[in-house]
Amino acid sequence: MPRKTKLEKDFEKDFMDELNERLPGGIMLKGNSAMRQGIPDRIFLHGPHWASLEIKRDSTSRTQPNQPWYVERLNDMSYAAIVTPDNYHEVIDEIQSAFGA
User: 29-38 pLDDT, tens per residue?
Assistant: 998 777 888 8
Check pLDDT > 60 for residue 56.
Answer: yes
14 closest CA partner among 101, 22, 43: 22
Q: What is the total count of domains within the chain?
A: 1
Dist. CA 6–CA 69, nearest whole Å: 26
Q: pLDDT tens digits for 68-81?
A: 999 999 999 999 99
Dist. CA 27–CA 6, nearest whole Å: 24
Q: What is the 3-state composition of the chain as percent helix, strand, coil, each rounded to the nearest 5?
A: 35, 20, 45
Whether 25 is covered by a domain: the verdict is yes
Q: Could you tell me the pLDDT band of residue 10, with boundaries at 50, 70 and 90?
A: confident
Q: Which domain holds residue 30?
A: 8-96
The CATH number for 88's domain is 3.40.1350.10
pLDDT mean over 44-52: 96
Check pLDDT > 60 for residue 91.
Answer: yes
Element (H, E) at 91: helix 88-98
- Model's pTM, two decimal places? 0.85
